[in-house]
Structure 1
Amino acid sequence: MIVGLSNPKTEYHNTRHNIGSWYVYSLAKSYLNNFKKEEKFFGFTSSCYIDSNHVRLLVPNIFMNINGQSVLKMASFYNINLSEILIVHDDLELNPGIIKLKYSYGHNGHNGLRNIISVFNNKKINFYRFRIGIGRPINRDQIASFVLSIPTKKERILIERSILHAIEENFILNILKC
């Protein structure tokens, strides 16, 4: 299962905090799949076959700090363990356009990850994280407004290029082979 962390789509779709959803929507589009709204999962879902693996896609349509509810609902329904889920999210520690894959159990201050760890009720479960850099504001007091704002044109180009590169290079095949 691949989850693109997000805030509700209509209001926040173009913000830095929703970059995880940008990746998942782009991935589905590359496989010519559409999303449908699934009330029971509090979000939008799709699926595709990647290297003959059936992969479920989820973009929560609830606030970031409760995204874990959406992830847990879908994972429970399909009997998917947290260790089998790739969480795609924005990362303040990486510059725009930088992407990294990590397998660990921490949240590094990210509220969406914090909530997922909390609802799965185990702080030591490793899971895959695909981190997409958004950079960091100069003033630490501006983090909330920064992540909820739209990236500059230059940042958006770098971010979109990194997403496209990850899809073209089948970045997630590394995970599926594990």
Structure 2
Amino acid sequence: MKKFLIVGLGNIGAEYVNTRHNIGFKILDHLARTESLSFQTVRLGDLAEYKFKGRTYLLLKPNTYMNLSGKAVQYWLEKEKIPLENLLVITDDLNLPFGSIRIRTKGSDGGHNGLKNIQQILNTQEYARFRFGISDTFKKGQQVNYVLGEWSDEENQLLPERLQLGAEIVRSFGTAGISNTMTTFNGK
């Protein structure tokens, strides 16, 4: 059975649950809820196993805090013997309008500390990432407060449909492959 590691980036703790920076956790939580999965606390994170169309998806929410996510990613790739091409990292992106999707097979960290740490630990930029736009509608010097801030009322109304789309992207990554997933979902 083919295995995939799907890593949602975020920060642990109740104060971060509904923040923009935790969209990776939020998408995995949505998928787990709709498929009646439960997360178990394991080494370096919370993990849920999802079986779909002959594939096993390990859904990982690292508990290392955003800036140290690479340690958890490396551990679970090695422990489960998952090849790098079967890794998908879900993260927020300030450079994209709210809710927009950008899926890539590789790339820079774009200033994102979670991606930066993953790239340092794995020693490569060659892994798939799914960036979820959170927009950049903050005043100069307010970036940290913005990404660690909660969603606006308008964003909260639009989130359920975007979370469902996120779950579809995760499924597609394992069943249709990265190229088809990019073609189908980029720009949606």
Relative to the length of structure 2, the TM-score reads 0.84
Deviates more, 1:76-85 or 1:55-64: 76-85
* Aligned pairs for 1:1-178 within 5 A: 1-38=5-42, 40=43, 42-122=44-124, 125-167=125-167, 170-176=168-174, 177-178=176-177
| Counterpart residue identity of residue 17, structure 2 | H
Offset, 1:9: 3.3
Structure 1 vs Structure 2 CA RMSD: 1.6
Unaligned runs of 5+ in 1: none
Q: Work out whether residues 5 and 59 of structure 1, in 8 Å CA contact, stay in contact via their aligned partners in 2.
A: yes
| Counterpart residue identity of residue 88, structure 1 | I
Offset, 1:142: 1.2
Q: Work out whether residues 92 and 131 of structure 2, in 8 Å CA contact, stay in contact via their aligned partners in 1.
A: yes
Counterpart Cα distance in 2 of 1:2 and 1:119: 17
**Equivalent residues, number:** 172
Counterpart Cα distance in 2 of 1:68 and 1:95: 26
Structure 1 residues 107 and 79, CA gap change in structure 2 (3 angstroms): same
Offset, 1:173: 4.0
Counterpart Cα distance in 1 of 2:77 and 2:169: 22
Q: Work out whether residues 96 and 158 of structure 1, in 8 Å CA contact, stay in contact via their aligned partners in 2.
A: no
Offset, 1:53: 0.6
Relative to the length of structure 1, the TM-score reads 0.89
Q: Work out whether residues 6 and 170 of structure 2, in 8 Å CA contact, stay in contact via their aligned partners in 1.
A: no
Counterpart Cα distance in 2 of 1:159 and 1:140: 26
Cα deviation digits, residues 42-80 of structure 1 (max 9, x gap): 110011112221111100122111011111111111112
Counterpart Cα distance in 1 of 2:14 and 2:84: 27
Structure 1 residues 137 and 75, CA gap change in structure 2 (3 angstroms): same
Unaligned runs of 5+ in 2: 178-188
Q: Which residue of 1 aligns with 2:182?
A: none
